[in-house]
Amino acid sequence: MRDYVPGPYDLDAMPEARAAAVLGELADWVEWLRRIYELDAIKPCWWRHPALVRELLAAFVRWRDAYQHGAAESAPFAWHSDVLRPLAARLGEITNMESCTPSGCGLRPSPPARDPELAVFLAQLADGTAALGDTLPTWEVGHERMLDLIDAGEAQSDDPGDPYAPVTYQGHQWAFDLDQAVFRRRI
């Protein structure tokens, strides 16, 4: 990111006065959007949800491009099909507003965005005492460990009567490798 030159809508790089002006325009537009398209899923506290702010800002910029003088006649249709509909469909995936009400925000702070161990790992990577492969997720689980996970209800076997049957664990399918006596995560 050292060579990154921020564009006009990068909120994290904007001077505060510009950010205030942009967010003020965005707030007016979001209220219009909520009213016209009956998007009650966007709660009044939308501005407290950073991911949603950025999604709405991107939609606003595209909307403005689609409706400005000189835009292609098909631009408004494209905005509805390419921006609005997908945005409305994934509002619940962008941020959790289920606990938000018209009178209060239920946003829970996220854990730190940066794992404290990252700085140590980066230093080790720089001095050659670590390798990128050290960061890969676990792709295999020992047979006994997987059986313990099944017993604890953390994993589900496709066939509980077969200790070597495929298993669903951490949202992924795992297959038993007889040669290595481990379950391997399928890609």
- 114 assigned to some structural domain: no
Where do runs of H (alpha helix) occur along the chain? 16-37, 50-67, 75-79, 85-89, 91-94, 117-127, 143-151
**Domain boundary pick from 94, 118, 153:** 94
Question: Which residue type occupies 53?
Answer: V
Number of helices (H) and strands (E), helices first, in the chain? 7, 5
Range of the domain at 160: 135-185
Tell me, yes or no, whether 89 and 141 share the same domain: no
Q: What is the pLDDT of residue 127?
A: 78
pLDDT in tens, the chain (187 residues): 678 888 888 888 888 899 999 999 999 999 999 999 999 889 999 999 999 999 999 999 999 999 998 989 999 999 999 999 999 999 888 888 888 888 888 887 766 667 666 777 777 778 777 666 555 555 778 888 889 889 999 899 999 999 999 999 878 888 998 888 888 887 5
> Rounded to the nearest 5 degrees, what angle is found at the Cα of 30, between the Cα atoms of 7 and 4?
15
Q: Are 167 and 151 in contact (CB under 8 A)?
A: no
State the total domains in the chain.
Answer: 2
- 161 assigned to some structural domain: yes
